[in-house]
Amino acid sequence: MQRGIVWVVDDDSSIRWVLERALTGAGLSCTTFESGSEVLDALTTKTPDVLLSDIRMPGMDGLALLKQIKQRHPMLPVIIMTAHSDLDAAVSAYQQGAFDYLPKPFDIDEAVALVERAISHYQEQQQPRHAPDFGPTTDIIGEAPAMQDVFRIIGRLSRSSISVLINGESGTGKELVAHALHRHSPRAKAPFIALNMAAIPKDLIESELFGHEKGAFTGANTIRQGRFEQADGGTLFLDEIGDMPLDVQTRLLRVLADGQFYRVGGYAPVKVDVRIIAATHQNLEQRVQEGKFREDLFHRLNVIRVHLPPLRERREDIPRLARHFLQVAARELGVEAKQLHPETDAALTRLAWPGNVRQLENTCRWLTVMAAGQEVLIQDLPAELFEATAPESSTGHALPDSWATLLAQWADRALRSGHQNLLSEAQPEMERTLLTTALRHTQGHKQEAARLLGWGRNTLTRKLKELGME
**How much is the pLDDT for 252?**
92
pLDDT digits (tens, 9 = 90+) for 443-458: 778 888 888 888 887 8
**How much is the pLDDT for 261?**
86
Residue 401 has pLDDT above 60, yes or no: no
Do 447 and 378 lie in one domain? The reply is no
Q: Are 4 and 31 in contact (CB under 8 A)?
A: no
Among residues 440, 202, 421, 167, the alpha carbon closest in space to that of 283 is found at: 167
DSSP 8-state assignment for residue 224? B
Do 180 and 204 lie in one domain? The reply is yes
Do 250 and 279 lie in one domain? The reply is yes
Where among 305, 321, 350 does a domain terminate? 305
Do 288 and 190 lie in one domain? The reply is yes
Do 220 and 320 lie in one domain? The reply is no
- In this structure, which long-range contacts are made by residues 451-455, counting pairs with CB atoms below 8 Å and at least 24 apart in sequence? none
Do 270 and 195 lie in one domain? The reply is yes
pLDDT digits (tens, 9 = 90+) for 52-107: 999 888 888 888 999 899 888 888 899 998 765 556 777 778 878 888 888 888 88
Tell me the backbone φ, ψ of residue 195, rounded to 5 degrees: -145, 125
Do 202 and 278 lie in one domain? The reply is yes
Strands 270-271 and 260-261: antiparallel
Where among 89, 113, 137 does a domain terminate? 137
Q: Which CATH number covers residue 92?
A: 3.40.50.2300
Q: Which CATH number covers residue 344?
A: 1.10.8.60
Residue 370 forms part of a structural domain: yes
Q: Whole-prediction pTM value?
A: 0.60
Domain count, the chain: 4
CA distance 385 to 311: 14
Residue 401 forms part of a structural domain: no
Residue 78 forms part of a structural domain: yes
**Strands (DSSP E) found in 128-206:** 164-167, 192-196
Do 97 and 238 lie in one domain? The reply is no
CA distance 14 to 16: 5
Task: Identify the domain containing residue 104 by its residue range.
Answer: 3-137
Residue 136 has pLDDT above 50, yes or no: no
**How much is the pLDDT for 382?**
87
Do 354 and 452 lie in one domain? The reply is no
Residue 145 forms part of a structural domain: no
Q: Which CATH number covers residue 443?
A: 1.10.10.60
Where among 107, 137, 167 does a domain terminate? 137
Residue 462 forms part of a structural domain: yes
Q: How many residues does the chain have?
A: 470
Do 187 and 317 lie in one domain? The reply is no
**How much is the pLDDT for 208?**
87
Tell me the backbone φ, ψ of residue 388, rounded to 5 degrees: -65, 150
Do 38 and 106 lie in one domain? The reply is yes
Phi-psi region of 320 (alpha: psi -120 to 50; beta: other; left: phi over 0): alpha
Residue 365 forms part of a structural domain: yes
> Could you tell me the pLDDT band of residue 131, with boundaries at 50, 70 and 90?
very low
Residue 222 forms part of a structural domain: yes
DSSP 8-state assignment for residue 202? G
Residue 393 has pLDDT above 50, yes or no: no
> Could you tell me the pLDDT band of residue 110, with boundaries at 50, 70 and 90?
confident
Residue 226 has pLDDT above 50, yes or no: yes
Strands 29-33 and 5-9: parallel
Residue 446 forms part of a structural domain: yes
Do 461 and 374 lie in one domain? The reply is no
Residue 411 has pLDDT above 80, yes or no: no
Q: Which CATH number covers residue 174?
A: 3.40.50.300
More confident residue, 389 or 435: 435
CA distances from 284 to 31, 44, 97, 164, 294 (A): 49, 54, 35, 14, 9
CB-side neighbour CA atoms (13 Å) of 467: 20
DSSP string, 313-378: G-GGGHHHHHHHHHHHHHHHHTSPPPEE-HHHHHHHHHS--TTHHHHHHHHHHHHHHH-SSSEEPG
- What is the overall mean pLDDT for the chain? 84
